[in-house]
Amino acid sequence: MSKIIEDAVEVIVSELLAGSDLELVAVEYVREKDWYLRVFIDKDGGVELDDCQDVSTRLEEILDEKDLIKGSYILEVSSPGLDRELKRDKDYQREMGKAIDVSLFAPLDGSKVVTGELKAYDGISLTVDDKVIPMDKVAQVRLHIDF
């Protein structure tokens, strides 16, 4: 059910953002203590609070009108953050050449985390520095942050 709602909201938000400088990064509908509908947006130079508020207000109106989600939930519209997760092909293409952290399901060369520069991605595998990692071994990929 969550995936159906996420897909439907993704279509709505994509239409809402069409023609603007904002880009939809991800949608997630998850149950924590309460149900949360999280929409992550971005733009060159980063999103501002006004961007998030505007999208939230417009999206809330559409969701209320369509009555897509039964029951209560909390809507959050925000930036994906500095350590954003890479999920879609366009995420990998946009972040090519940047440092990433790859979390693996099982150790590779003794480690479950590989950090390095994203050199290539074809949907089947990704190359980090000189290591080719099959995507079926990857649990999660995030942008790397140096502190």
Domain boundaries, the chain: 2-78, 89-143
Q: Where are the alpha helices (DSSP H) in 1-147?
A: 2-17, 49-66, 89-94
Mark the ranges of the chain whose per-residue pLDDT is less than 50.
Answer: none
Does domain 89-143 correspond to CATH entry 2.30.30.100?
A: yes
**pLDDT for position 84:** 86
**Torsion angle defined by CA atoms of residues 36, 1, 103 and 145, in that order, rounded to the nearest 10 degrees:** -30
DSSP state of 96: T
User: SS3 of 8, please?
Assistant: helix
Predicted TM-score of the model (pTM)? 0.77
**pLDDT for position 81:** 84
**pLDDT for position 115:** 96
In CATH, what number does 2-78 get? 3.30.300.70
CA distance 37 to 44: 24
**pLDDT for position 87:** 87
**pLDDT for position 133:** 96
Fold match, 2-78 / 89-143:
no
Strand ranges in the chain using DSSP code E only, listed in sequence order: 23-31, 35-42, 74-78, 99-108, 111-121, 125-128, 131-134, 138-143
